[in-house]
Structures are given as structure tokens and as C-alpha cells.
Amino acid sequence: MAKTTTKVPVSVLIPALNEELNLPACLESVARADEVFVVDSQGDFRESFSHRG
């Protein structure tokens, strides 16, 4: 079955605190959302990240 790339008109808010290991899978799981916001809760991210959907 082919993956669909149709965006769903929904906004997702992801609060994150030291989740650099889990964030890529989390973002992948909401990739069809029209808008995705990640809010850094002042954690200690070891690496910066960027995601464009």
C-alpha cells in the first residue's frame, strides 16, 4: 500500500522536555497534520533539530 501525502486540516502541539531521541518518531507519526508545533520546555537538548513537512 502506498503512503498518502494528503495533509489533514489539524494542528498538533508537542510539548517536549529532553526528548531528542523520541522526537523524530513523534514527528513522523503526525506528518499528515497541516501544522505541527514543537514547544521546548527549557530542556537540555544535546542537538538542534529541524523538521519541514
For the chain, the structural domain boundaries read 8-40
Is 1 a residue whose pLDDT tops 60?
Answer: no
Which are the contacts of 45, defined by CB distance < 8 A and separation ≥ 6? 18, 20
d(CA 1, CA 13): 29
Residue-wise pLDDT tens digits, 21-32: 999 999 999 999
As beta bridge partners, residue 36 has 12
Residue-wise pLDDT tens digits, 32-51: 999 999 988 877 755 555 55
pTM: 0.69
What integer pLDDT is reported at residue 2 of this predicted model? Answer: 60
Is 53 a residue whose pLDDT tops 60?
Answer: no
